[in-house]
A and B are shown apart, each in its own frame.
Chain A
Amino acid sequence: MGVFDTLGISASGLLAHRKWLDAVSDNISNINTTSRTNEAAFQERFINAQAVDYGSGSGGVRVAGTEFGSAEGRLVFEPDNPLADKDGYVKYPDIDLGEQMTQLLMAQRGYQANLAVVERATSTYQAALQLGRR
Chain B
Amino acid sequence: MTFPLGGIVPVGVGGVAGIDSTSIVPASQAASSTSGSDFASILASTVDGLAATQSNADSLAAQAATGDLKDVHDYMIASNEASLATEMVVTIKNKAVDAFNEIMRMPV
Chain A residues at the B interface, C-beta cutoff of 8 Å: 2-4, 7-8, 10-11, 14-15, 18, 115, 118, 122, 125-126, 129, 132-133
Contacts and interface: CB of A to CB of B under 8 A. Distances in A.
Interface stretch (B13-21, B28-36, B84-92): B84-92
A129 B94 CA distance: 12
Interface of B: 49, 71, 73-74, 77, 80-81, 84-85, 87-88, 91-92, 94-95
Chain A interface, >50% SS class: helix
Contacts of B81: 4, 7
A18 B88 contact: no
A129 B87 contact: yes
B85 A4 contact: yes
B42 to A, nearest CB: 13
A6 to B, nearest CB: 10
Nearest to A15: B71
A132 B92 contact: yes
Given A129-B91, A132-B95, A133-B91, A14 B71 contact: yes
A11 B78 CA distance: 10
A18 B71 contact: yes
B91 A7 contact: no
A5 to B, nearest CB: 10
A70 to B, nearest CB: 30
